[in-house]
Amino acid sequence: MNSVEISGFIPKLGLVVVGIVLVECTRQGLNYLQRKNSKPVIRQVIFFPDKQIACKDFFDSVEGCSRIRCDFSHTTTGFRQLLSHIKSARKSIDIAVYCISCFEIADVVLQRHKVGVGRP
């Protein structure tokens, strides 16, 4: 290569390098924005059965439990935690079961489906 060919090659190489850097910066910026705007995926192990059954009124009604002597648990149980996670779904719910035999879980999943969770 003579000096004329090299002098024409260097600006072209510089443009290619600048282009690659701009593409990579754009890609990194878009990845950052996507991660920033997305909520984290819930990965949690919940054990069943619970020692006590959770009080439905305590967790589901606005007033809470009105019973003076309630035999049910007023602390968060694994089952209530599971229902809370399903209720908080905004985009999708992944369920790997053959059959849902618990009406409370089925009702919460259907409620989320009615508001558009999991629909394409």
pTM above 0.75, yes or no: no
Q: Is the dihedral of CA 82, 85, 90, 91 positive or negative?
A: negative
The answer to whether 95 and 109 are in contact (CB under 8 A) is yes
Residue-level pLDDT, tens digit, the chain, 120 residues:
555 566 666 777 778 888 888 889 898 888 888 777 776 777 888 887 888 888 988 988 888 898 989 999 998 899 999 999 999 888 888 888 878 888 989 999 999 999 999 776
Cα 100–Cα 101–Cα 105 angle in degrees, nearest 5: 65
